[in-house]
Amino acid sequence: MAELSNEITLNGIQQIGIGVQDANKVFNWYRHNIGFNLLVFKDEATASLMTKYTGGKAWDRKALLSLNLAGGGGLEIWQYTNRNPIPPLESVNLGDLGINILKLKSKNINSIHEKLQTLNLDLLSPISTFENQEHFFFKDPWGNLVQIVTCNTTFTEGNEDCGGVLGVTLGVSDIDRSITFYKNLLGFDTVVYDKNNTFEDLSFIDNQENNYRRTLLRRSETKIGGFGTLLGPCEIELIQKKNGSPKKIYANRY
């Protein structure tokens, strides 16, 4: 009888969840403007497995999972159906504990930037280069902060100007401990950069009075397993406030 391996194999980031008030509206915006045009499922049910994160109560919800055919992770657009969704009690600043920024990949970064300029978004930064990588930031109509990063890996060879989820930026309280966690548990074993500074490419975000430590992690192994080619490379950027104390974005409010 073959022995079962205890080793964990990570194929990539399957999806990032976005909590919204109108799932259909958000799905259509990302479908029309960012290329998330493959609906994997649309489901309405009681989220009985999420009670750890929803105050011990199983709420009803609608969820839509969409993928981009250029590859990368998907978006799970998640809406309560029997209660009103609650936004963060305070504005989210860089370094606050939790997901700060959604990262998407693009092989045509100039094209997607020009397209977004036509949408009159509240926030759209110019394209800039940090550590030899072109990128820019924008806020979607619901205030979610998104970074689009140059990445030439694609799942299908089409005319898409933007791909799927590449990763996230996480606000953390201790980058060294976080590096160990993501390296040992999930295989993000490559430190691309580790910088302490104030950063010009982040200067468009409000409340930039703090210095930061900023570390980008990638995995040396890519395209592992059955979904590896679809999901493609992934990365996690860690950001830690050097002055002041971060707050928890997802503090329990139930």
The per-residue pLDDT for range 86-129, each reduced to its tens digit, is 887 788 889 999 999 999 999 999 999 999 999 999 999 999 99
Number of compact structural domains in the chain: 1
User: Are the CB atoms for 137 and 147 separated by under 8 Å?
Assistant: yes
- Output the average pLDDT for the chain: 87
Q: Classify residue 251: in a domain, yes or no.
A: no
Rounding to the nearest 10 degrees, give the CA dihedral for residues 119, 120, 123, 129.
60
CA distance 144 to 108: 22
Question: Hey, which of 10-14, 47-51, 62-66, 241-245 has the most confident mean pLDDT?
Answer: 62-66
Q: Classify residue 246: in a domain, yes or no.
A: no
Structural domain boundaries enclosing 182:
15-81+92-241
Q: Classify residue 154: in a domain, yes or no.
A: yes
The reported pLDDT for the residue numbered 253 is 59
Residue 190 belongs to domain with CATH number: 3.10.180.10
* pLDDT band (50, 70, 90) for residue 5: very low
Q: Classify residue 215: in a domain, yes or no.
A: yes
Q: Classify residue 87: in a domain, yes or no.
A: no
